[in-house]
């Protein structure tokens, strides 16, 4: 409190002692303290005329206490909230009042109210919370691949600074008993117009690959990865990470064994096949003209996308990442049904067209590798992996704008190792037949082994299409794989 009543009382006691000791009827230099207050002098409605100053101080102390019990009514939407001035940290400056009494005898003196700012703001915020209507940001919902804007709602917030201004430093008699204009509009952080600017309106990139539905485990893996990506939303500047979105590929997360590549050979491993999902997504992102942040080629060529347009993944070290470089939302839809793996990217339609071209610079012939197999008899052989050539490929993206201006961008230079033909050769000796007087006749066409064509094709056998392939491990001969 800013009252100075106690200091005035101490002053009067000291003056009284001085008068007694000196025997003086007046004290030189302080006639104001000994004289009566001029008639007609008031502080607000309190009449101090004719009082001694000690009496006036006592009257002011009592009056101040009562005056600050006065309530101010805050009204909004037919609701009233009463707040006593004292709860706002209100005080009257007694020193200032008495100085004005001295300087303006016979006048009505204003008693200015002073608030404690921190206390006033805290109390008002607490009392008015129930009447507040915070602003609601604009939102969106996507129904049937259509972006629908949910409009923003402006809020009503208490104008605490405005309320304080109507009270603080104002004369007590001029403080309004009812304050109604105490609310101000609060704008949402995200406006309806800003949300409308994010809306997508068409498919801006789409790509489709095909898979064999009879490969049950691989098909299951494709569907699981596609489901993790489906309906993902990318805000402008946001990066999509395949690994973060799909997560680890383990039996616990529902992934099964299918063919993967280890040390440039196809073997069974958990999650085989999902590189077809990442490669399909990669091509859709290219055609949507999105920025590719991270992409790795397979070690071996794969059959489901053109050379130079594949994207291998391996959790967590090899990832496919692309950035939404547009001003609108990118909405990802994925479909893996009936042997078709399809990705559609929705965004804001533009007049730009994109074409991706790949150029084979060289071909790397495959080799035939023979491996001894003790389970096959000498003279027998079996092809377990067909051969395929390797390639060196360069890939470019050409973007044509609405005016027909084209810009070609180099995307990648990829080297795919050949897939060597692997043939098992029998080392098992035939068991001698018991001696018999009858010599059996053996027909060559009854051999159980399938003839091998040195060109790399196995006659009468169905070859396994390469499923996915990672970059070869840094240390040859290890069982490290770079993806499914």
The larger pLDDT score, comparing residue 471 to residue 386, is at 386
Residue with tokens 């008899």: 377
For residues 323 and 290, the answer to whether their CB atoms sit within 8 Å is yes
Separation CA 87–CA 85 (nearest Å)? 5
Instruction: In whole angstroms, give the CA distance from residue 225 to residue 222.
Output: 5
- 264 pLDDT band (50/70/90 cuts)? confident
Q: How confident is the model at residue 80 (pLDDT cuts 50, 70, 90)?
A: confident
Tell me the pTM.
Answer: 0.69
pLDDT-derived band at 266 (thresholds 50, 70, 90) equals: confident
Mean pLDDT estimate for the chain = 84
Provide mean pLDDT across the span 137-151: 97
Choose the weakest-confidence range: 20-29, 283-292, 346-355. 20-29
Q: What is the DSSP letter of 324?
A: -
Q: Are 335 and 226 in contact (CB under 8 A)?
A: yes
pLDDT at 483: 52
CB crowding 246-256: b at 16 or more within 10 Å, else e: beebeeeeebb
Residue-level pLDDT at 39: 93
Q: Are 204 and 346 spatial neighbours (Cβ–Cβ below 8 Å)?
A: yes
Beta strand 390-400 pairing with 353-364: antiparallel
Task: Tell me if residue 425 falls in helix, strand or coil.
Answer: strand
Is pLDDT at 442 greater than 80 in this prediction? no
Residue position matching structure tokens 């204003």: 110
**pLDDT value of residue 448:** 33
- Whether residue 469 contacts residue 385, with contact meaning beta carbons closer than 8 Å, is answered with no
Query: Would you place residue 464 in the very low, low, confident or very high pLDDT band (cuts 50, 70, 90)?
Result: very low
* 3-state DSSP assignment of residue 216: helix
pLDDT for 444 equals 39
> 449: pLDDT confidence band, cut at 50, 70 and 90?
very low
For 393-403, how does the pLDDT look when each residue is reduced to its tens digit (9 = 90+)?
999 999 999 99
What CA–CA distance (Å, rounded) separates 439 from 92? 133
Quickly state the pLDDT bin for 435 (edges 50, 70, 90).
low
> Largest Cα–Cα distance in the chain?
166
Residue 415: strand, helix, or coil? strand
Q: What is the CA radius of gyration of the chain?
A: 45
**Closest Cα to residue 354, out of 307, 292, 278?**
292
CB count in 10 Å sphere of residue 424: 20
Chain-centroid distance, C-alpha 134:
23
């Amino acid at each position: 409190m800013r009252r100075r009543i106690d200091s005035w009382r101490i002053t009067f006691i000291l003056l009284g002692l001085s008068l007694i000791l000196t025997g003086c009827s007046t004290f030189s230099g302080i006639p104001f303290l000994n004289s009566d207050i001029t008639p007609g002098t008031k502080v607000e409605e309190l009449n101090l005329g004719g009082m001694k100053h000690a009496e006036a101080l006592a009257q002011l102390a009592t009056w101040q206490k009562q005056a600050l019990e006065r309530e101010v009514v805050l009204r909004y939407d037919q609701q009233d909230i009463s707040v006593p001035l004292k709860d706002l940290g209100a005080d009257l400056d007694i020193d200032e009042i008495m100085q004005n009494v001295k300087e303006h005898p016979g006048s009505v003196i204003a008693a200015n109210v002073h608030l404690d700012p921190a206390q006033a703001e805290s109390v008002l915020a607490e009392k008015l919370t129930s009447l507040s209507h915070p602003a609601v940001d604009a939102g969106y919902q996507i129904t049937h691949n259509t972006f629908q804007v949910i409009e923003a709602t402006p809020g009503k917030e208490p104008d605490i600074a405005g309320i304080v201004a109507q009270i603080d430093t104002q004369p007590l008699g001029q403080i309004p008993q009812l304050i109604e204009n105490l609310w101000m509009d609060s704008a949402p952080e995200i406006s309806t117009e800003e949300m409308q600017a994010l809306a997508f309106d068409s498919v801006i990139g789409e790509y489709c690959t095909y898979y064999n539905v009879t490969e049950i485990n691989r098909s299951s893996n494709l569907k699981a990865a596609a489901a993790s990506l489906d309906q993902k939303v990318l805000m402008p500047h946001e990066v999509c990470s395949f690994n973060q979105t799909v997560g680890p590929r383990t039996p616990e997360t529902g992934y099964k064994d299918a063919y993967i590549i280890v040390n440039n050979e196809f073997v069974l491993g958990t999650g085989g096949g999902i590189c077809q999902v990442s490669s399909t997504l990669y091509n859709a992102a290219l055609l949507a003209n999105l920025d590719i942040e991270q992409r790795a080629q397979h070690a071996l060529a794969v059959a489901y996308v053109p050379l130079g347009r594949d994207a291998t993944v391996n959790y967590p070290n090899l990832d496919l990442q692309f950035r939404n470089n547009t001003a609108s939302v990118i909405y990802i839809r994925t479909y893996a049904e009936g042997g078709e793996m399809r990705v559609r990217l929705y965004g804001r339609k533009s007049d730009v067209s994109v074409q991706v071209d790949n150029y084979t610079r060289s071909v790397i012939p495959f080799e035939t590798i023979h491996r001894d197999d003790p389970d096959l008899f000498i003279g027998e052989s079996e092809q377990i992996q067909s051969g395929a050539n390797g390639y060196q490929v360069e890939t470019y993206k050409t973007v044509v704008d609405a005016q027909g201006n084209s810009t070609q961008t180099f995307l990648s230079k990829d080297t795919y190792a050949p897939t060597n033909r692997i043939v098992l050769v029998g080392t098992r000796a035939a068991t001698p037949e018991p001696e018999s007087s009858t010599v059996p006749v053996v027909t060559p066409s009854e051999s159980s082994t399938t003839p091998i064509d040195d060109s790399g094709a196995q006659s009468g056998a169905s070859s396994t299409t390469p499923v996915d392939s990672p970059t070869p491990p840094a240390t040859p001969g290890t069982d490290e794989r770079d993806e499914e």
